[in-house]
Amino acid sequence: MDIVVFGAGSLGSLIGGLLARTHDVTLVGRADHVHRVREDGLSITGLCAEHVTPMATTDGRGLHADLALVTVKAFDTEAAASTLETGSFDIVCSLQNGMGNEAVLSQHFETVLAGTATYGARRERPGTVACTGLGEVAIGAPDGGPSRAATRVGDAFGDAGLNMTVETDMPHRLWEKLAINAGINPVTALAEIENGGVLEAPARALARAATREAARVARVEGVPLPDAAAVSAMEAVAEMTAENTSSMAQDRQRGRQTEIDAINGFVVDRAATHGLAVPTNRTLTGLIRAWEHGNGLR
């Protein structure tokens, strides 16, 4: 399969690199990373060490492939879609944080899939990405149900040796992931702690409250996600990635815009449409947005 990975950061480089073991992959990323991959190939270190030689470019315009994997930050989804639209793809799949990405992509492409990935990834330096945690990729139709496109992508991912699930209930997957991120990301970013820190007081109470609120909104939206199940999933991820720094905490450390709007901000927005109070998510969202505004990022 010909695959374009649009957004070759940590996760995009890891998934793209693993796919390049079997498939023809083109990474679209930043200049320093692209230059090193072109010169020396992509090195994957850590739990799934590999050295592969995908194509790499900084220009995502006019590309053609069977599949485009979108791995950019949520606030860059519209720009990514507009760029990819200058080429042609049979299938476009989001492997991003937050909610709403698939809706944006669907305005530009006919066949769009939703995806989640629990592999841990850290870009160590240009041309090198570390696999910090073995997980799985789940892909399916954004609204749920069977999907031939998802089966096709799932077979391709499986051929490359990735742990793969073709999911028929992606709404549940997406909301569960959102609830997990809502509990871990802003708390670790604001408190400047690693993921495992949300398992200890006083951060634990905040993370649990944000996760429960997200689960409550999910249920109002028609997705059966019990509070206890959401909290259990959040704490399991925090324990499994205890020594990792969340993506939002990394963004804050590096002075970059975060994905707060697509995570806790999404919970706040959807809750408002149902007249539901989500005070913890509202406070966490406000604090992160205030930091972004104060640093000229918003």
Active site residues: 177
- The set of residues, in sequence order, having a beta carbon less than 8 Å from that of 51 and lying 6+ positions away, is 41, 42, 43, 44
Distances (CA, A) of 242 to 43, 68, 246: 25, 31, 10
Angstrom distance (rounded) from CA 121 to CA 50: 14
**112/20 Cα distance (integer angstroms):** 22
CA distances (Å), origin 59, targets 11, 86, 97, 229: 19, 11, 23, 42
Inter-residue contact 168 to 114 (CB < 8 Å): no
Terminal-residue alpha carbon distance, the chain: 39
Q: Report in angstroms the alpha-carbon separations of 174 from 80, 126, 219, 243.
A: 20, 30, 13, 24
Is 113 in a helix, a strand, or coil?
A: strand
Which among 296, 295, 293 has a CA at the least distance from the CA of 285? 293
Answer yes or no: are the C-beta atoms of 113 and 143 closer than 8 Å.
no
